[in-house]
Structure 1
Amino acid sequence: MAIQIHTAAERPVERDWRSAIGNGLRGRCPRCGQGRLFRGFLKPVDTCAACGEPLHYQRADDLPPYLVITIVGHIVVGGILMAEKYADWSMGLHMAIWPALTVILSLLLMQPAKGGVIGLQWAMRMHGFGGTPDTPERQPLPPTVHQS
């Protein structure tokens, strides 16, 4: 089994991760910034309509919700603590505001978070975006030691 060794001459051109993430956050193709990244709320397109970049390699499944939970949690918990300290709200008002704000913020941030993660994956050539398949190379098993 041959192992691929990438030399400096074969190193691909670096992609600007800042613009790729920014384009993804805006729901645009991480490569050109023109084509739409999503065909549904969270369903990415297979290829960019503007530049033809294949986007079906993305694997942005679990990270975007974790990012959204972290961001929304900090906003909502901070708001609850501020409201408890500086406002005299009834429990009913708290129960009306905070769950609704949590759901609204989560829905507003989910697509940009997923787009940003797809942009990061594209910029870092992860999961097939680099032109090589996303399968690990098979390594030979170590020799077994027989005990007598």
Structure 2
Amino acid sequence: MSLTIKTAPAADPGEVKVVPAMRRGFLGHCPACNKGRLFGRFLKVADYCESCGTEFHHHRADDLPPYVVIFIVGHLLGYGILMTETRLEVPLWVHLATWPALTLILCLALLQPVKGAVVGLQYALGMHGFGAARAKKNHDEDN
């Protein structure tokens, strides 16, 4: 009886690391080259990178970014409201003026970066057509 251990295959030189691709997307840059812009408008992902030509039109970052933003903002503001209520004496009008405004500001500030990070994640994992696009791009560069 022999014991065999399977090891992972050698890393593909065209393999994309997840964290750098997500960071690039979070900052609004192309997850492939970090030079081009990811967004054409506020939440509209560009069809392709003007710098390296990577296509983005097949991404599927529609529902996850709002859920992630709601999760983050809800936890931050829930903690803020809880700490304010338990440690400070603040009039009700201050709560009514502060928390909805802060909710709106944080949601608008986080929505585009989170969507960019999700597109970067999809690119790094080769999801929704990104794998075929990367393979085609690597094949074109080799020839």
Provide TM-score, normalisation by structure 2: 0.83
Q: Which runs of 4+ in 1 moved over 4 A?
A: none
Counterpart CA distance in 2 for 1:69 and 1:54 is 28
Aligned to 2:141: none
Instruction: Please say if 1:42 is aligned against 2:39.
Output: no
Deviations 1:3-42 (A, max 9, x none): xxxxx7xx78421111100000000000001100001110
Counterpart CA distance in 1 for 2:18 and 2:54 is 16
Q: 3-state DSSP class of the match of 2:75?
A: helix
Aligned to 2:3: none
Counterpart CA distance in 2 for 1:80 and 1:89 is 11
Counterpart CA distance in 2 for 1:13 and 1:27 is 22
Deviations 1:38-93 (A, max 9, x none): 01110010010010001111110000000000000011000000100111011111
Higher-helix-fraction structure = 2
Counterpart CA distance in 2 for 1:82 and 1:32 is 43
Counterpart CA distance in 2 for 1:13 and 1:48 is 18
Counterpart CA distance in 2 for 1:117 and 1:94 is 33
Aligned to 2:125: 124
Counterpart CA distance in 2 for 1:34 and 1:72 is 30
Counterpart CA distance in 2 for 1:12 and 1:58 is 23
The answer for unaligned runs of 5 or more in structure 1 is: 1-7, 133-148
Q: 3-state DSSP class of the match of 2:130?
A: coil
Q: Give the C-alpha shift of residue 95 in structure 1.
A: 0.6
Aligned to 2:55: 54
Q: 3-state DSSP class of the match of 1:61?
A: coil
Q: Return the letter of the residue paired with 1:96.
A: A
Provide TM-score, normalisation by structure 1: 0.80
Higher-Rg structure is 1
Aligned to 2:137: none
Correspondence list, 1:94-133, <5 A? 94-131=95-132
The answer for unaligned runs of 5 or more in structure 2 is: 1-8, 134-143
Taking only the aligned residue pairs, the percentage that are identical comes to 52
Counterpart CA distance in 2 for 1:44 and 1:87 is 43
